Amino acid sequence: MADNGNGQGKTRLTSADVVAGATTARAGKQAGNPYLPEVATIVEIVQETSNIKTFRLRFDDTQVQKDFSFKPGQVGQLGVFGVGESTFAITSRPTDDFVQFSVMRAGEVTKALHNLSVGDKVGIRAPMGNGFPVEEWKGKKILFVMGGIGSAALKATIEYTLAHLDDYKGISILYGATAPENFTYQYDVDEWQKRDDIDLTLTIDRECDGWQCEVGLVPAILEKMNPDPAETIAVLCGPPIMIRFSLVSFRKLGFTDEQTYTTLEKRMKCGIGICGRCNVGPKYVCVDGPVFTMAELAELPDEL
């Protein structure tokens, strides 16, 4: 066009630098195109349960791999080219030299992921979301309550707190699954059982041969455990029904909504707060979440 003699400096970003987010936007612009996935290669696949696989991935760009960092509780978009992207919690340790996601075979993308083998290529956009405020929790007891694949969302956080045990007054884990073979990260569970610095309670839905631990639904076991709400942070993740009833139990036990955290899952597309799909009222799960306190959720419309 006539006025565009120079192709440069057309953005009004600087002149309209009034909104608080401008800096972020500028940073985003420098960071490049947030829609473009980084290509990564599957380096290892662990079959966790009959329908859950854990994928260990390494970015093809070594610099990206080196620079990659995230906070416990953050998520990423893992995609198969030609099928699509889906959101998964990052389950590796921040110190790992790979990125790890645990995927339950459920829909199109997860099915395609399950069909991949070591050496295959995927696309990753990560990290996204806020993560758990592990810094704020220092000096408190942490109680993880999780069910089924919900453990994937908390795995990185558990690993983090275990790596920084001195910062916390104690770690308790209540983990429920439908049957003994459905515990994801069986190897972790075995290890936690051996350790005496973790208070681990396992439960399954229905009695079965050879089972030594609790039997019953998570909320019921939670009430039986009767944890002391004082100086404790409760972190909850699992199927919606479990969350709903565990929350009732937590309230019964005297936990306030402010000390109860959960992490949400929603259908997401862009992952950067634009596409308008994962919102619960004014909050976007992809950027304002996925971690919320129950007090924050209480403010939002009932669209979980």
Partner 1 sequence: MSREEHIREFATAALAEGRVDYFIGWQQGYNSSEVIPVFIRDAAEVEQLVWNPLCHHNLVTFLKRNMPDPPDAKIGVCVKGCDSRTLVALLQEELVDKDKLYVVGVPCDGIVDRRKLEKEFAAEMVAIEFPERGKVVVTTRLGETQEFAQDAVLLDVCRLCRYPNPVYADDTAGPLETEPDRKHTQPDWTDIADYENFSDDDKQAVLEQIYSTCIRCFACINVCPVCYCWDRCVNRSRQPELVSQKVGAKENLLFQMIHMMHVAGRCPSCGACDRACPVEIPLYLLHRKMNKEIYDMFGFEPGTSLDEKPVFQTFRIEDEFGD
Partner 2 sequence: MAEETRDQGAENATATTEAGTAGATGEATGSPDTRRVKIIGIVCNWCSYAGADTAGVGRFKQPANLRLVRVPCTGRIDPLFALKAFEKGADGVLISGCHPGDCHYSEGNYYARRKFELMERMIHHLGIPQERFKWTWVSASEGARWQQVVTDFVAGVESLGPRQGRAL
Partner 3 sequence: MTIKYLQADRLPAFLEYLAEDARVVAPFKRYGVVQFEPWSSGKDVELDVLLAKQSPKEYIFLQTQTYLKFGYRMEDPETSAPDGPGSDDAASEGEGAAKKAEPDESPTVGIPHETVHVEPILEAQTQVIFGCRPCDARGFVQTDNVFGGYGGFYYDPLYNARREVTTILAVTCREPRSTCFCTAIGGSPAGTEGVDALFTQVEGGFVAEALTEKGEAALAYEGLADAGAAQTDAAAAVKEEAIPKVDMPFELEGIRDNLHDNIEGQQWHHLAMRCISCGTCTYVCPNCYCFSINDQIVETEGERYRVWDNCFNPMYTEETSGHNPRAQKSNRFRNRFSHKFWYYPDKYDSLLCSGCGRCIMHCPTRIDIREVLRVMGSPAPEPEPAAAPATGEGKEA
Binding status of residue 84 toward partner 1 by CB under 8 A: yes
Side-chain-side CA neighbours of 91 within 13 Å: the count stands at 25
- As a whole number of Å, the end-to-end CA separation of the chain is 48
**Site for partner 2, residues 65 to 104, rule: CB under 8 A:** 80-83
* Residue in 39, 64, 116, 225 binding partner 2, rule: CB under 8 A: 116
Q: Which of 173, 165, 164, 185 is nearest to 143 (CA)?
A: 173
Residue 67 beta carbon to partner 3: minimum distance, rounded to whole angstroms = 13
Residue 178, interface with partner 2 (CB under 8 A)?
A: no
C-beta separation of 242 from 214 below 8 A: no
- Residue 170 contacts partner 1 per CB under 8 A: no
Residue 282 interacting partner from partner 3, partner 2, partner 1, none (CB closer than 5 to 8 Å by kind): partner 3
Q: For partner 1, give the closer residue by CB, 44 or 108.
A: 108
Residue 267, judged by CB atoms within 10 A of its CB (0-12, 13-18, 19+), counts as exposed
Binding positions for partner 3, 262-291, rule CB under 8 A: 265-267, 269-270, 272-282, 287
Calpha distance 131→221 (Å, rounded): 27
* C-alpha 39 chain-centroid distance: 21
- Interactions with partner 3, residue window 136-155 (CB under 8 A): none
Give the whole-angstrom CA distance, residue 217 versus residue 160. Answer: 27
**Smaller CB separation from partner 3, 41 or 201:** 41
Count of residues that interact with partner 1, criterion CB under 8 A: 5
**Residue 281 contact, options partner 3, partner 2, partner 1, none, Cβ 5-8 Å cut-off depending on partner type:** partner 3
> What does DSSP assign to residue 191?
H
112 makes contact with partner 2 (CB under 8 A): yes
Which chain residues interact with partner 1 by CB under 8 A?
84, 107-109, 267
